């Protein structure tokens, strides 16, 4: 890849399964008596705001029946399309496909909550039973010869006589999706393709369950004399968690990033830091029945075999054909361009940390469980910046208001809490706001926030939709959610988060704004490509550090005093601090993802492959990959980010370049003209426009990697 300019316009599409990510339209009379079943999860949504999910009536025992009935109804829709006696047209084939499976789509909303936010042993058992059935269901659609023949007829006709732009895009995406999923294979290969998908679906489920097991069962309990360095708020939260787990009088460090990260940053107990670090980075890699190494090896073999049926040499070539990068060489080109600068910066960071350890007479050599601890000491020395001091000004409630302020300035949105009890929620921690246009008062949608970590909730942070904007069926109000894993404060205490966590909060809200701003007509166009859809959310992170947000919403949780100007100056001065760590831990995972899928998996030893690849990369021994292979859920709990984890950096090139457009604007990050272009070209079109073309319409040119290097404080080559 040229290090000067990103790839030129590329034809791409993305849909991760053959089920459209679409919304719930009104039912019609064509459904048989199955739809009259009294299973709540299948029913039309009722209530205010044009109907909302009945989360208060959601039961695990209903999910299996609902999924099974939903699949039958969806397949009936598909059969009706495939067997239509009329000649194939956009309306009677493509639009009908967009409309199909509405009951099942409703059920998937509940299924997603039970899987990600409210998982339980009972649900995991049901999910294990449903996973292969869902795979078979998808195969029945993707391998329906009559259906694909109709799709191909419409596609071929559109190549000679193009449709309207958005219609053409839908046809192209759907055709490509079917083609990539084996629609052109012969009967024998189709059968094997479906068998592989079924086996993979079970392996993905097992992988996820194993990671969740290790997150729930490796808890470190501390006594009072082991709390050195920890903040008062963190100690109170740890005590509450321990009490909830039946360990009253102790302090629990759970096996999640939100608990691990602050502990490793501040705890003075080195051996305990090592224990907590080891627990976290050994998830799925403990040599027991929950070990994921053999599962990963099987996944890699099956993925290679499956794409081999389609004529591809490896999974990466197949997967990246519809991404912005287009092929693994371009993706690796970007990562290889940044890697040397990243590990070079790590060497500088480690030297700074080791100097402090030596000066303190600590008599240690920096190890991975020391990195965060001594990095914090370097931060204090170099920038006189204490992360814990910054945290006192980062209250979750105030940050939520900062999100709303940003959305109001850029998108003209207003967020108003809904009346208590008017919208069902799946947990008492969940809050809901109505989103409206600030000027007209027009209803746009609802925003659900589920902020806190709890047992049964997957780690990390994410955004999702329960209903998306699609004008072909009159659905214009969006139901979107953000989900985090902040450590819940003790009663009466403020929830304080780190600067990194605040960035992530803004990031995920960027996804929600992407959902709310959609102006597309058809459900398929609400999709996106992995190396582009992270761009919008990464870009929104930049507003956290704007003066307008800092001066209004960063106030001390006890005194209410605004964050001091000198502390803000320190934060901005230290903005490139520890970028060696951040970039290297991420890139190591992204490169590992790509190399695993380019390798011959015949006799692959995952542990050995990981060690040898890191050695070949000259990975600094003082830090691990962000996601070690045995718990790399992005890549092995499904296929969403498989050979696509690089996409965060690809998107970050776009982000860095786009943010410079705001920096250059007369009114900076709140410049109205640039904000209008942001919404018009980068948010509202979703997947109705080629992303490279959309970026050029916003920026006037392709993105350049130099902006990313400048952002991270890395050397910029002279060309």
Whether 626 maps to a domain, the answer reads no
pLDDT at position 21, please? 34
Structure tokens at 501: 């966590």
What is the Cα–Cα distance from 471 to 523, expressed in whole angstroms?
Answer: 9
> What one-character-per-residue DSSP string does 425-445 give?
-SSTT-EEEEEEETTT--EEE
Residue 482 is given by DSSP the state E
pLDDT at position 464, please? 96
Summarised one tens digit per residue, pLDDT across range 413-447 is: 999 999 999 999 999 999 999 999 999 999 999 99
What is the Cα–Cα distance from 131 to 34, expressed in whole angstroms?
Answer: 21
Structure tokens at 83: 């067997």
pLDDT at position 37, please? 64
What phi and psi, each to the nearest 5 degrees, are found at residue 657? -70, -45
What is the Cα–Cα distance from 439 to 135, expressed in whole angstroms?
Answer: 46
What is the Cα–Cα distance from 217 to 279, expressed in whole angstroms?
Answer: 10
CA torsion angle 99 103 104 110 (round to 10): 130
pLDDT at position 718, please? 75
Residue the block writes with tokens 């109709």? 150
440: Cβ contacts below 8 Å, ≥ 6 apart: none
Task: Give how many domains the chain has, as a whole number.
Answer: 1
Per the DSSP assignment, residues forming a β-bridge with 555 are 562
Burial (CB < 10 A; 0-12, 13-18, 19+), residue 135, is buried
CB 508 within 8 A of CB 537: yes
Residue 133, H or E segment: helix 121-142
Q: Tell me the H-state helices in 161-269.
A: 165-180, 187-217, 232-244, 257-266
> Which stretches of the chain drop beneath a pLDDT of 70?
1-37, 719
Structure tokens at 155: 């596609």
Burial (CB < 10 A; 0-12, 13-18, 19+), residue 247, is middle
Three-state DSSP class for 561?
Answer: coil
Q: List the one residue out of 288, 276, 116, 109 whose CA is nearest residue 212.
A: 116
Whether 224 maps to a domain, the answer reads yes
Distances, alpha carbon 248 to alpha carbons 14, 229, 243, 252, 253, in Å: 49, 21, 4, 10, 14
pLDDT at position 648, please? 92
Three-state DSSP class for 410?
Answer: helix
pLDDT at position 118, please? 96
Structure tokens at 103: 């009951």
What is the Cα–Cα distance from 667 to 660, expressed in whole angstroms?
Answer: 13
What is the Cα–Cα distance from 172 to 158, expressed in whole angstroms?
Answer: 9
What is the Cα–Cα distance from 307 to 310, expressed in whole angstroms?
Answer: 5
Residue the block writes with tokens 């209004």? 552
Structure tokens at 602: 């015949």
CB 123 within 8 A of CB 114: yes
Structure tokens at 621: 């021994």
CB atoms within 10 A of CB 611: 12
100: Cβ contacts below 8 Å, ≥ 6 apart: 20, 74, 77, 78, 81
Whether 390 maps to a domain, the answer reads no
What is the Cα–Cα distance from 466 to 105, expressed in whole angstroms?
Answer: 9
Whether 508 maps to a domain, the answer reads no
What phi and psi, each to the nearest 5 degrees, are found at residue 462? -155, 165
CB 492 within 8 A of CB 452: no
For 251, the domain range is 218-281
What is the Cα–Cα distance from 145 to 141, expressed in whole angstroms?
Answer: 9
What's the angle, vertex CA 547, arms to CA 542 and CA 551, rounded to 5? 125
The pairing of beta strand 413-417 with beta strand 443-452? unpaired
CB 579 within 8 A of CB 713: yes
CB atoms within 10 A of CB 30: 10
Whether 611 maps to a domain, the answer reads no
pLDDT at position 719, please? 61
What is the Cα–Cα distance from 72 to 134, expressed in whole angstroms?
Answer: 11
Whether 272 maps to a domain, the answer reads yes
């Amino acid at each position: 890849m040229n290090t000067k300019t990103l790839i030129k316009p590329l034809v791409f599409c993305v849909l991760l399964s053959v089920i459209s990510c679409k919304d719930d339209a009104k039912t019609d009379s064509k459904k048989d008596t199955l739809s009259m079943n009294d299973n709540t999860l299948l029913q039309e949504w009722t209530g205010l705001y044009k109907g909302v999910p009945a989360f208060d009536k959601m039961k695990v025992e209903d999910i299996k029946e609902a999924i099974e009935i939903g699949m039958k109804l969806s397949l009936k829709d598909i059969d009706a399309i495939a067997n239509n006696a009329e000649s194939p047209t956009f309306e009677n084939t493509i639009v009908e496909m967009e409309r199909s499976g509405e009951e099942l789509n409703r059920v998937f909303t509940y299924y997603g909550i039970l899987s990600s936010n409210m998982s339980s042993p009972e649900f995991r058992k049901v999910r294990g039973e449903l996973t292969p059935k869902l795979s078979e269901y998808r195969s029945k659609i993707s391998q329906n010869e009559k259906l694909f023949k109709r799709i191909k007829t419409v596609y071929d006709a559109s190549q000679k006589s193009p449709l309207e732009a958005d219609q053409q895009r839908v046809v192209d995406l759907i055709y490509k999706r079917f083609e990539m999923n084996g629609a052109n294979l012969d009967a024998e290969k189709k059968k094997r393709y479906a068998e592989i998908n079924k086996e993979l679906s079970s392996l993905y489920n097992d992988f996820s369950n194993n990671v969740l097991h290790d997150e729930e069962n490796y808890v470190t309990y501390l006594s009072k004399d082991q709390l050195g360095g920890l903040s008062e708020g963190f100690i109170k939260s740890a005590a509450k968690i321990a009490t909830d787990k039946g360990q009253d009088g102790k302090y629990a460090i759970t096996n999640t990033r939100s608990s691990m990260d602050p502990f490793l940053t501040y705890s003075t107990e080195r051996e305990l830091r090592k224990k907590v670090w080891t627990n976290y980075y050994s998830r799925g890699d403990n040599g027991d029945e929950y070990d994921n190494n053999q599962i990963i090896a099987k996944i890699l073999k099956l993925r290679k075999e499956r794409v081999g049926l389609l004529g591809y040499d490896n999974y990466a070539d197949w997967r990246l054909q519809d991404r912005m990068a287009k092929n693994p060489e371009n993706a690796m080109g970007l990562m290889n361009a940044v890697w040397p600068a990243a590990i070079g910066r790590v060497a500088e960071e480690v030297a700074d940390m080791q100097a402090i350890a030596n000066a303190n007479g600590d008599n240690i050599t920096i190890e991975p469980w020391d990195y965060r601890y001594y990095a914090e000491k370097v931060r204090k020395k170099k920038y006189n910046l204490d992360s814990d001091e910054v945290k006192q000004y980062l209250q979750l409630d105030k940050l939520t208001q900062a999100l709303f302020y940003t959305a109001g300035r850029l998108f003209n949105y207003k967020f108003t809490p809904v009346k208590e009890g008017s919208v069902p929620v799946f947990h008492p921690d969940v809050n809901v706001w109505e989103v409206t246009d600030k000027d007209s008062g027009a209803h746009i949608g609802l925003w659900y926030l589920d902020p806190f970590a709890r047992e049964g909730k997957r780690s990390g942070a994410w955004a999702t939709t329960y209903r998306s904007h699609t004008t072909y069926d009159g659905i214009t109000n969006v139901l979107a959610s953000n989900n985090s894993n902040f450590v819940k404060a003790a009663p009466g205490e403020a929830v304080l988060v780190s600067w990194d966590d605040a960035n992530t909060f803004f990031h995920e809200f960027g996804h929600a704004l992407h959902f709310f701003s959609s102006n597309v007509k058809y459900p398929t166009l609400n999709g996106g490509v992995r190396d582009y859809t992270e761009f919008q959310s990464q870009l929104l992170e930049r507003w956290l550090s704007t003066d307008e947000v800092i001066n209004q919403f960063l106030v001390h949780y006890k005194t209410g005093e605004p964050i001091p100007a000198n502390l803000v100056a320190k934060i901005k001065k230290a903005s490139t601090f520890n970028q060696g760590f951040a970039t290297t831990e991420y890139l190591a995972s992204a490169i590992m993802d790509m190399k695993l899928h380019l390798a011959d998996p015949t006799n692959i030893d995952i542990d050995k492959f990981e060690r040898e690849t890191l050695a070949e990369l000259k990975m600094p021994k003082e830090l691990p990959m962000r996601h070690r292979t045995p718990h790399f859920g992005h890549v092995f709990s499904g296929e969403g980010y498989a050979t696509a984890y690089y996409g965060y950096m690809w998107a970050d090139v776009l982000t860095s370049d786009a943010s410079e457009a705001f920096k250059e604007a007369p009114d900076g990050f709140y410049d109205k003209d640039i904000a209008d272009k942001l919404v018009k070209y980068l948010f509202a079109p979703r997947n109705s426009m080629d992303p490279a073309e959309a970026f050029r319409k916003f920026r006037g040119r392709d993105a350049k990697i130099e902006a990313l290097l400048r952002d991270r404080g890395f050397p910029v080559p002279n060309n």
